[in-house]
Amino acid sequence: MAVSDRNLPAGVSVRSLTGADLGGALALSAEARWNQVSADWRLFLEFGTPICLTRNGKLIATAATLPYAPRFAWISMVLVTAVERRQGLARWLLRHCVEDLVGRGLIPALDATPAGRAVYLGLGFQDTWDMHRLVGRSGEFAGGDYDGITVRRLQESDWPQLLSLDKGVFGADRGVLLRSLAQRLPQASLVALRHGQIIGFTLGRDGRVMTQLGPLTAADNDTAITLVAAALSAISGPVAIDVPDRHAALSEWLAKRGFSGERPLTRMVYQTASSFDDSARLFAIAGPELG
């Protein structure tokens, strides 16, 4: 990837992030109290385009993009260490990522916190829909006795159906990413079936402070709740799940089991208010850094 230090502050330079930078990248995300572990950063190294800013050889900021060809790409991991903030570095990184993606014919998209949203609006992003991060703890939860729905562990033979379902819901083929996530937390890699057909699935991954549950795709509320109940019963410890606001039934089900809202998020797309996903069947995202 060609990178340029045009208009960066004196002494700051940009380059591609490499495996040798994992320690510094982890330190940045931990400083921000984010949930990433080294496996998350390796996702960007393997499937995306991560970059970093350095001063005197020390890593001080990062950003990354994940392409979901042929239509769009995700921007995430925009981090600046505390002592280097308020110099416009985050805005520079965002603008650089946008220009790079547009130059490759991809539409930039991202999931924004309220603070980030104000910046992204000024860079040409528009709101598409809102969600909330809900946090709680795993436990033995019953999802309800819904006629005809069965849940079991994901099997290798399920992948063709699962990937076809996910492409229709997410809006792009992200098979390599989902297969990677399925290996991270296999006990939460579940499918829901009705009459032998996959009508929903959930995956999860380990995190620095809590498990991230998602993506969660389902045909309806009953299927989503059944999958979440099974996943929460199969894992342990604190859990985060990012649920679109339109799925109030799932949020209410989680609230009754001790989950509470941690922060809102907004899905944003560059220069359009239309998202690529089918939010009616998207009950939880993979995480704001992955889409």
Q: For residue range 232-251, list pLDDT tens digits in order.
A: 999 999 999 999 999 999 99
pLDDT at 148: 84
Pairing of strands 238-244, 211-218: parallel
DSSP 3-state of 203: strand
Mean pLDDT to the nearest integer, 61-80? 96
Residue 243's nearest CA partner among 131, 166, 111 is 131
The answer for residues whose C-beta is within 8 angstroms of residue 242's C-beta and 6 or more apart is 111, 131, 132, 133, 134, 214, 265, 284, 285, 287, 288
What letter would DSSP give residue 279? T
Superfamily of 132-284 according to CATH: Gcn5-related N-acetyltransferase (GNAT) (3.40.630.30)
Handedness of CA 181, 183, 188, 193 (dihedral sign): positive
pLDDT surpasses 90 at 146: no
Mean pLDDT to the nearest integer, 270-280? 95
pLDDT at 4: 63
- Residues for the chain: how many in total? 291
Give residue 1's pLDDT band: very low, low, confident or very high (50, 70, 90): very low
The radius of gyration computed from the CA coordinates of the chain, to the nearest angstrom, equals: 19
DSSP 3-state of 262: strand
Mean pLDDT to the nearest integer, 86-104? 95
DSSP 3-state of 278: coil
Q: For residue range 189-211, list pLDDT tens digits in order.
A: 999 999 999 999 999 999 999 99
Mean pLDDT to the nearest integer, 120-126? 95
pLDDT at 2: 45
Percent of the chain at pLDDT > 90 equals 90
Mean pLDDT to the nearest integer, 87-102? 95
CATH class of 12-105: alpha beta
Domain extents for the chain?
12-105, 132-284
Using alpha carbons, list the distances in angstroms from residue 101 to 66, 172, 266, 276. 10, 16, 20, 16
Residue 96's nearest CA partner among 176, 211, 16 is 16
The residues pairing with 244 across neighbouring beta strands, listed in sequence order, are 131
pLDDT surpasses 90 at 145: no
Distance CA 213, CA 287 (A): 8
Asked if 53 contacts 89 with a C-beta cutoff of 8 angstroms, the reply is yes
Distance CA 50, CA 216 (A): 26
132-284 has the same fold as 12-105 = yes
Asked if 128 contacts 163 with a C-beta cutoff of 8 angstroms, the reply is no
